[in-house]
Amino acid sequence: MTESPLDVVCFGETLVDFLPSAPGQRVRDVPAWHPCTGGSPANVAVGVARLGLRSAMVGVVGADEFGHFLRERLAAEGVDVSHLRQTAEARTGLVFISLDARGERTFTFFRTRSAEFLLGEADVDPGFLLRAKVVHCGSNSLHRQEARDATVRMLELARGADRIVSCDPNLRLHAWEDPSALKGLLARMLPLCTVVKLSEEELGYVTETQVPEEALARLSAMGVLLPVVTLGERGAVLLWKGERVHVPAPRVPVVDTTGAGDGFVAGMLHGLARWYGGARALSENATREELAALATFACEVGARVVGRLGAVEGLPRVEELAAVLPQRPPTSR
- Contact predicate 309/255, CB 8 Å: yes
Rg (CA), the chain: 18
In the annotation, is 262 catalytic? Answer: yes
Answer yes or no: is 89 within a domain.
Answer: no
Q: Report pLDDT for 35.
A: 95
| Secondary structure (DSSP) of 194-219 | SEEEEEGGGHHHHHS-S-HHHHHHHH
Mean residue pLDDT across the chain: 94
pLDDT, tens digit, 9 for 90 and up, residues 4-38 = 899 999 999 999 999 888 777 878 888 999 999 99
CATH label of the domain that carries residue 131: 3.40.1190.20
Q: What share of the chain is helix, strand, coil (3-state, %, to 5)?
A: 40, 20, 35
| Residue 99 predicted with pLDDT over 90 | no
Instruction: Output the CA–CA distances (angstroms, integers) from residue 54 to 153, 277, 324, in the order listed.
Output: 23, 13, 21
What type of residue is 214? E
Q: Report pLDDT for 71.
A: 98
Give the number of other CB atoms < 10 A from CB of residue 5: 11
Q: Report pLDDT for 104.
A: 67
Element (H, E) at 333: none
Answer yes or no: is 104 within a domain.
Answer: no
E strands, the chain, in order: 8-11, 15-20, 33-38, 55-62, 84-87, 94-99, 105-110, 134-137, 164-167, 195-199, 226-230, 236-240, 243-247
Percent of the chain at pLDDT above 90? 83
Answer yes or no: is 105 within a domain.
Answer: no
Residue span of the structural domain in which 237 resides: 8-12+40-57+120-320
Answer yes or no: is 88 within a domain.
Answer: no
Answer yes or no: is 115 within a domain.
Answer: no
| Residue 237 predicted with pLDDT over 60 | yes
pLDDT, tens digit, 9 for 90 and up, residues 238-262 = 999 999 999 999 999 988 888 999 9
Q: Report pLDDT for 4.
A: 81
229 pLDDT band, cuts 50/70/90, is very high
Answer yes or no: is 195 within a domain.
Answer: yes
* Domain count of the fold of the chain: 1
Answer yes or no: is 274 within a domain.
Answer: yes
CA 272, 273, 276, 279 dihedral sign is positive
Q: Which residues contact 242 (CB under 8 A, 6 or more apart)?
A: 220
Exactly one of 80, 123, 256, 262 is catalytic; name it. 262
Answer yes or no: is 203 within a domain.
Answer: yes
